[in-house]
């Protein structure tokens, strides 16, 4: 039973990552079509979420460990 729960957790995380990645890719493509600067997709909501996770997730893991 624990294996099934862990598998569901992994699937949920991978699904969330796929959705966030797809959302960011759509923002990236839209910014290229609109000829916005290279950093515009990173200032969109999915870009900010990704940047937040890149910078603060390791700190949170270290603090909680």
The CA distance from 37 to 26, in Å, is 15
| pLDDT one digit per residue (tens) for the chain, 65 residues | 899 999 999 999 999 999 999 999 999 999 999 999 999 999 999 999 999 999 999 999 999 98
Residue 48 vs residues 8, 9, 59: alpha-carbon distances, Å: 26, 24, 17
């Amino acid at each position: 039973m624990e294996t099934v729960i862990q598998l569901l957790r992994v699937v949920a995380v991978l699904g969330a990552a796929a959705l966030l990645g797809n959302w960011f890719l759509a923002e990236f493509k839209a910014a290229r079509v609109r000829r916005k600067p290279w950093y515009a997709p990173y200032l969109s909501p999915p870009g900010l979420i990704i940047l937040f996770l890149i910078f603060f997730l390791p700190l949170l893991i270290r603090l909680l460990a």
